[in-house]
Amino acid sequence: MGARTTSIQVARLAGVSQSAVSRVFSGASASPETAKKVRKAAKQLGYRPNVLARAMITGKSRIIGLIVAYLDNQFYPEALERLSNALQAQGYHILIFTVPNTADRIAGVVEDLLDYQVDGIIAASVSLSSGLTDLCVKAGIPVVLFNRGQPGSGLSSVTSANIKGATMATQALIEAGHSRIAHIAGWEGSLTGRDRQQGFEDAMARAGLTPFAIIDGMFKRDTAASIARQLMTGDTRPDAIFVGNDHMAFAVMDEIRQMGFSIPADVSVIGYDDVPLASWPAYDLTTVRQPVNRMVEATLETLLSSINGQEVYPQTIEIEGPLIQRSSSKPIKGS
Amino acid sequence: MGARTTSIQVARLAGVSQSAVSRVFSGASASPETAKKVRKAAKQLGYRPNVLARAMITGKSRIIGLIVAYLDNQFYPEALERLSNALQAQGYHILIFTVPNTADRIAGVVEDLLDYQVDGIIAASVSLSSGLTDLCVKAGIPVVLFNRGQPGSGLSSVTSANIKGATMATQALIEAGHSRIAHIAGWEGSLTGRDRQQGFEDAMARAGLTPFAIIDGMFKRDTAASIARQLMTGDTRPDAIFVGNDHMAFAVMDEIRQMGFSIPADVSVIGYDDVPLASWPAYDLTTVRQPVNRMVEATLETLLSSINGQEVYPQTIEIEGPLIQRSSSKPIKGS
DNA sequence: CTGAAAGCGCTTACAG
DNA sequence: CTGAAAGCGCTTACAG
C-alpha cells in the first residue's frame, strides 16, 4: 500500500536502464524494441511516472492555480467548468482556491500557489496587490485576470466589453421609451463594476437624460434587493433599472414582484452576464451576454503562450457580447 | 526570473547548514538563535520551501483530488466552496476535475490524480468502477464519495438520508390531500436517485396509494421539463409531483407554469436539496434540505482520518435534513 | 542542537 | 540508441 512502482523496478523487469524507462515515458528518443520492453514491464507493474518528481526537474508542474470568488454567482461555475475542461484537454490541472474577496486572504492564496510551483495563475474576479503581482513576476509565473481588469498592474486581463455592453443595455432602455432609469451598480471597487456604470452614464448623457439614481449594489443579492425596495418606495419611481449583473438582477426582480409591481409593465429590468438562469421562464431576464467560451479561450491562449515562454506583453482583451432581449424589459419602440 | 530561492542560499546567508534551514521550516527542533538567523535570511531572500520537493520525501502532497460533475446544479458550487474553505483551513489544497459523468472520462481523471500523488480523493456525484477503486486502494489513497453511495464498493460515502427524506416529502404531499402523485426520479444509475425513488414508493405504499407515474428525469433539466409537460397533458393529470432534485424541480415548475397551470393550485411540486435558488421568491420551492455543511464536515472527517493512517473501515454516513415547507406545495391539511 | 550525507523518483547532458 | 552519473530541492536518520 502506498508503495508505488518506480522507474527502477520497471527497468529491472524490462532489462534496461532506468534512463531508458524515463525516456520512453517522457517522449524522448528510444528504439522501438526498448520502448516495447519498457511498456510491457510498465503495464505489468502498473507503473505511471511520478509527476511531482518530473515537475521538480523540468520546473513545469503543469498545474494552473485558479482563484475564484463569488461561486454563488452562476457565471463562475460555468466558467470554472469550461476552464477546467479546456485545461484538462491540454494536460494541465487546476489547483483551485475559493476566497472571500479580501486582500489578506488573497495574499495567502497566492503564496500557497507559488509554493506549489504552479505554471500560471488565473484570477477570476479578484484583484492582486502590486506586492503580489511583483511576487508572481519575480517567480516568473504568468497571471491572467478573468472578468476583472486592473489598469496599471501590468497584468493581462480578459473581460467582456463592459462599457460597450452597458451602453447597449441602457440604450435599449431609452429606446423602449424609458426616461427615469436607475442603475444598481456592481461593486465600485472593481473595474468591471465601474466600467458598466461608465457605459450607463455615457448612454444617458448622450440621450440628454439624467440618471434616476446610481447606487452601489456590491455584487450582492441582499444589497441589491434592499436598494430595489428603496427605489420602488416613494412617489417618484424609476421606470427602468439597469443592474450591474444578473446575480443581483434576480434579487431585484424578486423584490420588485414581491412589492406587487409588475415587470416590465411597471418597471423594466436589465442585467449583465446572461447566466443560464436568465433564460429560465421564471425570470426571462433581458441581459448583456458575456461570451464565457470565448473569454475562456482568450484566457487560456494568453496564459499558455506566456507559459510557453513567448514574451507576451500584458494584454487587455475585451470581448463583445450581444444584448439578449427578453421579457423583463419593454421592447424597443416600433420593433 | 523563475529562479526561486532555495534552502541552500538561505543557509549560506544565515551561516548555517542547509539541514538547519529545513528543520526550521519543517517544524523540527532548532535552537532559538538558529531559527532567528534562518528566518531573517529567509525573509531577506523571500524564501519559501518548495512544496513539491517536500512532498516527494514525505509522501504527502497535501493535495486532495476533487471530482465533480453537475456543476450547473447549484448544490455543487456551494459544496465545492465549503469543501475548499475547510480544506484550505487544514493546509490542504484541491486539485479539481470537472467531468461528464461517463466511466471512461472518470478513469482518466483518477489516473491523473494518482500521478499527482494526491493524499485523498473526494468524488462528488460520480461512481468509481471496481477497477478504479482497486487502483486507489493499492496506491493507499483514501476515497470518499460525496452525495452518492456505492454499495459493495468498499468506499466510504456521505449522503443525506435520501430514503427518509423522500418519504417525508411524499408524506407531506399525501397529508396535504393529494392522491395522484407522480415522481420524476433522479437518474436510476445513481443510488441517490434510486433511494429517493424508494422513499417515494415506501410512503405511497404505506398510504395505500398507487404512484400516478414514476419516470426517470436523469437529473437533467430538459428531460425533467419534457416529462412534466407530458404528465400535465391529457385528461387525468397528477395533482402533485415529487421531483428527484431541485435542479429538475425548477425546470418542472417553469414548464408547468408555461402551460398555464398554477402552482400549487393545480399541482403541488416538491424538490430535494434546498439549494439557494429554492428559497428565492420566483420558485419558493418546498424541498428536503441536504445539510451541505454537515455533509462536508463528515466527508472531511472521514477522509482526513483515513489519510492520517487511522485504519478506517468504509463508512456509509447518512445525514438527515428537514423538509422545508414553502409555497410550491399545498400545506398539510389542518395546519 | 547541529552538520554531512543519503535519498525521494525522476530528467538530462555526457560518453560511448 | 543507451547506460552511468549528476542533480532538482527538499527531509531525515546518523554521528557528534
H-helix or E-strand containing A193? helix A191-206
**Structurally, what CATH architecture does the domain formed by B60-160+292-319 represent?**
3-Layer(aba) Sandwich (3.40)
Chain A residues whose CB is inside 8 A of the B81 CB are: 71-72, 98
pTM here is 0.94
| Residues present in chain A in total | 335
Nucleotide nearest to A20 (CA to C1'): D2
| Cα–Cα nearest to B122, from B248, B297, B288 | B297
The CATH number that domain B162-290 falls under is 3.40.50.2300
Distance B19 CA to D14 C1' (A): 13
Query: CA A120 – C1' C7 distance (Å)?
Result: 30
Smallest Cβ–Cβ distance between B51 and the set A81, A116, A254 belongs to A116
Per-residue pLDDT of chain B (335 residues; tens, 9 = 90+): 456 899 999 999 999 999 999 999 988 778 888 999 999 999 999 999 999 999 999 999 999 999 999 899 999 999 999 999 999 999 999 999 999 777 778 889 999 999 999 999 999 999 899 999 998 988 889 999 999 999 888 899 999 999 999 999 999 999 999 999 999 999 999 999 999 999 999 999 999 999 999 999 999 999 999 999 999 998 999 999 999 999 999 999 999 999 999 999 999 999 999 999 999 999 999 999 999 999 999 999 999 999 987 766 889 999 999 999 999 999 987 65
Contact A52, B55 (CB under 8 A): yes
Closest nucleotide (C1' vs CA) to A6 is C9
- Pick left, alpha or beta for residue B195 (phi over 0 → left; psi -120 to 50 → alpha; otherwise beta): alpha
Amino acid identity for residue B182 in this structure: A
List, by residue range, all CATH 3.40.50.2300 domains of chain B: 60-160+292-319, 162-290
- Hey, which residues 66-95 in chain A have their CB within 8 Å of chain B? 66, 71-72, 74, 76-78, 80-81, 84-85, 88, 93-95
Mutate to test the interface with B, among A43, A67, A71 (most CBs of B within 10 A): A71
Location of each CATH 3.40.50.2300 domain in chain A: 58-160+292-319, 162-291
Q: From CA A96, how far away is CA A62, in angstroms rounded?
A: 14
- Per-residue confidence (pLDDT) for residue A104, from 0 to 100: 77
Which residues are paired to B289 by β-bridges?
B273
Tell me, yes or no, if B61 comes closer than 8 A to chain A by beta carbon: yes
Q: What is the CATH number of domain A162-291?
A: 3.40.50.2300
| Residue ranges of chain A whose pLDDT lies below 50 | 1
**CA end-to-end distance (rounded Å), chain A:** 70
Interface test with B, best of A44, A115, A229 (most B CBs within 10 A): A115
Q: Give the separation between CA A10 and CA B275, rounded to whole angstroms.
A: 50
User: For position A2, what pLDDT does the model report?
Assistant: 53
Q: Which CATH architecture has domain A58-160+292-319?
A: 3-Layer(aba) Sandwich (3.40)
Distance CA B128, CA B87 (A): 23
Across the interface, whether the CB atoms of B52 and A56 are under 8 A apart is answered yes
Q: Which of residues 168-207 of B touch A (CB under 8 A)?
A: none
In the prediction, which pLDDT does A335 show? 58
3-class SS letters over chain B: CCCCCCHHHHHHHHCCCHHHHHHHHHCCCCCHHHHHHHHHHHHHHCCCCCHHHHHHHHCCCCEEEEEECCCCCCHHHHHHHHHHHHHHHCCCEEEEEECCCCHHHHHHHHHHHHHCCCCEEEEECCCCCHHHHHHHHHHCCCEEEECCCCCCCCCEEEEECHHHHHHHHHHHHHHCCCCCEEEEECCCCCHHHHHHHHHHHHHHHHCCCCCCEEEECCCCHHHHHHHHHHHHCCCCCCCEEEECCHHHHHHHHHHHHHCCCCCCCCCEEEEEECCHHHHCCCCCCEEEECCHHHHHHHHHHHHHHHHCCCCCCCCEEEECCCEECCCCCCCCCCC
How close does chain B come to A4, measured CA to CA in Å?
6
Which amino acid appears at position A286 of this protein? T
Three cell numbers written together for B161: 438520508
**What is d(CA A245, CA A232) in angstroms, rounded to the nearest whole number?**
19
